[in-house]
């Protein structure tokens, strides 16, 4: 009986101890949970960066419809830097940024893609450029500009520091793109000094090249801030060039039997040009008539040579003596063939043809001769393509010796007869004088 009571007391004591321990653990846990949580920031979204996209053209060139330039924004690697620097973190969620032309809404297809296109409309206004844009303004050039926005608002930054990105331009056929990579740093800071303990994006800066250094922290008695990474050059533009040249085809007719009122048929074929483009044609020095049967009637409505998706195009036209045609703005590297057609007919008419070429600065280049109906052919630039103004001159000559009405073969006989008659006349006169005496 006593043992049972002891056992019950022991059980009661153990139970009480367990209850006390559990209560203590619970109280401790409540104490811990009741303490202030570890501090965390509310993420802040990025803002926007603006830069200018320039396109440099020859003064007579038009902006091709294919003037569309692609950009890719990617996350760059960060760096801890050294003492006195601001930490640089890897870029976050580059594919959530959006790039678009200022004043227009970004297309749905460009959102959250990481790759974006900036287009120059064919009729875009040109500008002389701006101070400090890195362009050496030239009276023989013209400049188009687009204001571009990079919107980082879709990216949430979770702690203070610098977040780094790279921006690259992709290759566009027919254009010299700006191949230098750009580094973009997004500066995020704690606003504790203003009593809010939140984050904000204090600035976004673009630099030329691939920057690897961290920004330096500057502290002073009255101000504090950061300087740019050592060796970094701020930049706010991309500069593209559209190197182009003109092709001139001209016609001359010489010889005393040539017909200067006659029209001669030509065809120009181009290849390796910009695809789906329209190259303006100057028709001011040629006859152009409207109507289905008009001379150069196609040019009356379409004053350009048009290319297909592969950059191939052709144009047929007629020229008289002293006339010419000029094709503006062929992109550097375009190949072309110029033919005077109906060569066999011209042979029958008695014309001979001389072709001279000013080929990328080399005068008197000898063209390649064709055969058959295309005997008067000039094929140029099979190696490098056009990069200066090229002129192809066709000179057709037709001479003939006209009859004078006298057969030159009987002139000696006539002279002998005249002399004989003259001699008879002299003898007759002399004999008559002797008879009178």
**26 — phi, psi (to 5°)?**
-65, -45
173 and 77: one domain?
A: yes
pLDDT at 277: 85
In a domain, 433, yes or no: no
372: pLDDT strictly greater than 50: no
110 and 232: one domain?
A: yes
252 and 230: one domain?
A: no
Provide the domain count of the chain: 2
Which string of DSSP letters, residue by residue, matches 227-283? EPPTT--B--EEEEEE-EEEEEEEEEEESTT--TT--EEEEEEEESS-TT-EEEEE-
Residues 6+ apart with CB under 8 A from 409: none
The last residue of a domain, from among 179, 214, 241: 241
Range of the domain at 353: 243-397
Token readout for 397 is: 């000559």
In a domain, 414, yes or no: no
Confidence of residue 29 (pLDDT cuts 50, 70, 90): very low
pLDDT at 88: 93
pLDDT at 221: 38
| Range 163-199 burial, b when 16+ CB lie within 10 A, else e | bbbbbbbeebebbebbeebbbbbbbbbeeeeeeeeeb
| Range 240-269 burial, b when 16+ CB lie within 10 A, else e | bbbbbbbbbbbbbbebeebeeebbbbbbbb
301 and 341: one domain?
A: yes
In a domain, 435, yes or no: no
Q: Tell me what percent of the residues of the chain surpass a pLDDT of 90.
A: 27
The last residue of a domain, from among 241, 270, 305: 241
Task: In whole angstroms, give the CA distance from residue 283 to residue 248.
Answer: 11
138 and 286: one domain?
A: no
In a domain, 5, yes or no: no
Q: Kindly report, residue by residue over 12-22, the tens digit of the pLDDT.
A: 565 655 555 45
Q: Which long-range contacts (CB under 8 A, 24 or more apart) does 100-103 make?
A: 100/148, 100/149, 100/151, 101/146, 101/147, 101/148, 101/149, 102/50, 102/146, 102/147, 102/148, 102/149, 103/147
The last residue of a domain, from among 177, 211, 241: 241
Please, are residues 433 and 425 in contact by the beta-carbon 8 Å criterion?
A: no
Q: Kindly report, residue by residue over 51-101, the tens digit of the pLDDT.
A: 988 888 887 777 877 788 889 999 999 988 777 788 899 999 998 998 888
200 and 255: one domain?
A: no
In a domain, 30, yes or no: no
231 and 289: one domain?
A: no
**400 — phi, psi (to 5°)?**
-160, 150
**CA angle (189, 190, 191) in 5-degree steps:** 115
Q: How long is the chain?
A: 437
Element containing residue 304 per DSSP (H, E): strand 304-306
140 and 160: one domain?
A: yes
Q: Kindly report, residue by residue over 162-181, the tens digit of the pLDDT.
A: 999 999 998 887 888 888 99
**Top-confidence residue, 145 or 384:** 145
In a domain, 209, yes or no: yes
84 and 216: one domain?
A: yes
152 and 166: one domain?
A: yes
In a domain, 34, yes or no: no
51 and 106: one domain?
A: yes
Task: In whole angstroms, give the CA distance from residue 295 to residue 307.
Answer: 23
Q: For the domain that residue 386 is a member of, what is the CATH number?
A: 2.60.40.1140
144 and 225: one domain?
A: yes
Token readout for 55 is: 């396109």
382: pLDDT strictly greater than 60: no
In a domain, 309, yes or no: yes
Q: For the domain that residue 134 is a member of, what is the CATH number?
A: 2.60.40.3050
- Closest by Cα among 275, 297, 277 to 286: 297
């Amino acid at each position: 009986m006593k043992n049972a009571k002891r056992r019950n007391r022991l059980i009661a004591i153990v139970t009480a101890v367990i209850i006390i321990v559990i209560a203590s653990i619970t109280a401790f846990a409540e104490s811990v949970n009741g303490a202030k949580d570890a501090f965390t920031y509310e993420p802040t979204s990025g803002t926007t960066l603006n830069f200018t996209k320039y396109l440099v053209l020859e003064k007579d060139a038009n902006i091709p419809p294919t003037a569309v330039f692609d950009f890719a924004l990617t996350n760059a690697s960060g760096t801890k830097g050294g003492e006195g620097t601001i930490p640089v973190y890897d870029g976050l969620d580059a594919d959530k940024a959006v790039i678009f032309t200022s004043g227009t809404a970004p297309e749905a297809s460009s959102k959250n893609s990481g790759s974006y296109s900036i287009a120059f409309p064919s009729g875009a206004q040109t500008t002389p450029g701006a101070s400090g844009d890195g362009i050496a303004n030239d009276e023989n050039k013209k400049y188009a500009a687009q204001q571009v926005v990079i919107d980082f608002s879709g990216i949430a930054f979770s702690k203070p520091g610098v977040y780094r990105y790279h921006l690259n331009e992709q290759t566009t056929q027919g254009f010299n793109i700006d191949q230098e990579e750009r580094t973009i740093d997004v500066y995020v800071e704690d606003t504790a000094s203003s009593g809010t303990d939140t984050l904000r994006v204090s600035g976004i800066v673009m630099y030329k090249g691939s920057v690897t250094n961290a920004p330096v922290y500057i502290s002073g008695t009255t101000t504090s801030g950061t300087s740019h990474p050592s060796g970094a050059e701020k930049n706010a533009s991309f500069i593209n060039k559209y190197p182009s040249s003109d092709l001139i085809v001209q016609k001359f007719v010489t010889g005393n039997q040539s017909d200067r009122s006659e029209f001669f048929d030509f065809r120009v074929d181009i290849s390796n040009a910009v695809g789906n483009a329209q190259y303006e044609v100057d028709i001011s020095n040629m006859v152009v008539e409207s109507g289905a049967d008009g001379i150069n009637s196609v040019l009356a409505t379409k004053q350009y040579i048009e290319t297909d998706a592969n950059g191939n195009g052709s144009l047929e036209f007629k020229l008289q003596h002293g006339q010419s045609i000029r094709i503006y703005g062929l992109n550097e590297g375009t190949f072309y063939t110029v033919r005077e057609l109906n060569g066999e007919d011209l042979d029958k008419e008695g014309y001979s043809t001389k072709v001279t070429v000013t080929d990328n600065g080399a005068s008197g280049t000898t063209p390649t001769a064709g055969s058959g109906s295309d005997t008067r052919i000039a094929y140029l630039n099979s190696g490098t393509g056009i990069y200066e103004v090229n002129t192809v001159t066709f000179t057709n000559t037709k001479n003939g010796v006209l009859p004078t009405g006298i057969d030159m073969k009987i002139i000696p006989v006539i002279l002998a007869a005249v002399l004989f008659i003259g001699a008879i006349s002299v003898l007759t006169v002399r004999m008559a004088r002797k008879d009178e005496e």
